[in-house]
Amino acid sequence: MSSTVREFRRTRILVTGGAGFIGSHLCRRLIDQGHEVLCVDNFFTGARDNLGDLLNHPSFELMRHDVTVPLFVEVDQIYNLACPASPVHYQFDPVQTTKTSVHGAINMLGLAKRVKARILQASTSEVYGDPVEHPQTEEYWGNVNPIGFRSCYDEGKRCAETLFFDYWRQHQVSIKVARIFNTYGPNMHPSDGRVVSNFVMQALLGRPITLFGDGQQTRSFCYVDDLVDALMRLMNSPGDVTGPINLGNPSEFTIRELAELVLELTGSRSELVFKPLPQDDPRQRRPDISKAKTMLDWEPRVSLRQGLERAIPYFESVLKLG
């Protein structure tokens, strides 16, 4: 037997929230690389349809499970993506959202500790709140309202980060923490309330495009393929690279610029309608990705125009199926 064959060891990887938007793309990429994937999801926001092409794959397993309940499996790596990420969904049951972030982190960290697996936490740029530092670096502690409508998500994710670093310090669990900024692409829930899906669906349906405030608040938009590449690079980075590391596209756009680009690419004649700004909605959001460039040799490759050109056909197909 050759040394190459003898040294090969298939990696068994758990992806929580794997039937969701980012999770489904991650599962597919891991399978393409020859890994064995256990996808866990409670299907609150995820969907089997996102994984249709993987369901019969011999290296893929799908399990209905809620991460607030302990899970006993044998795996080498854990990507913890389980948590509703859009305001519409995480505000539907805010207590459960907090439980998913906090209890879910405890359960997945406990699993990682037992089986000595490396674990990556999908944290969020929302830990920075409405930032007074711009762009946001990982050293910035944030400006978060602890008792607002968004707090179940923001503070849940902040607490999860605390748990990850305490398990690292106290139990030597191998951790990775990614702070994910706005990400978009195929498999987004068409009615999740996030700005890209909102604008594209409104434009395709010929409905008014809803902007909050004056539309001058800014966001940065990362295409999902770029984000998945970053997550995998972080997971497989040297052990002393724990994060947190910002992952997102540093190109900054106003919400109005996004709306106008969506109108151009869809050919829609929808009008722009302005409504009051929601409570605690950040005015600026752009990542400093210096650490990702240096430690992961990563930066986004897909521009907003290119990404929208790839994503819009997905939303068109959703409307046709509907």
Residues carrying an active site annotation? 153
Q: Report the C-alpha gap between 310 and 152 in whole angstroms.
A: 32
**Beta-bridge mates of residue 183:** 222
Given the structure tokens 């605390």, which residue do they identify? 162
Q: Report the C-alpha gap between 19 and 16 in whole angstroms.
A: 8
Long-range contacts of residues 142-147, Cβ cutoff 8 Å, at least 24 apart = 145/279, 145/280
Whether the CB-CB separation of 227 and 183 falls below 8 Å is answered with yes
**Beta-bridge mates of residue 211:** 274
> What's the CA angle centered on 27, arms 13 and 92, to 5 degrees?
105
Q: Report the C-alpha gap between 253 and 181 in whole angstroms.
A: 13
**One-letter amino acid for residue 137 of the chain:** T
Q: Longest Cα pair distance anywhere in the chain, in angstroms?
A: 68
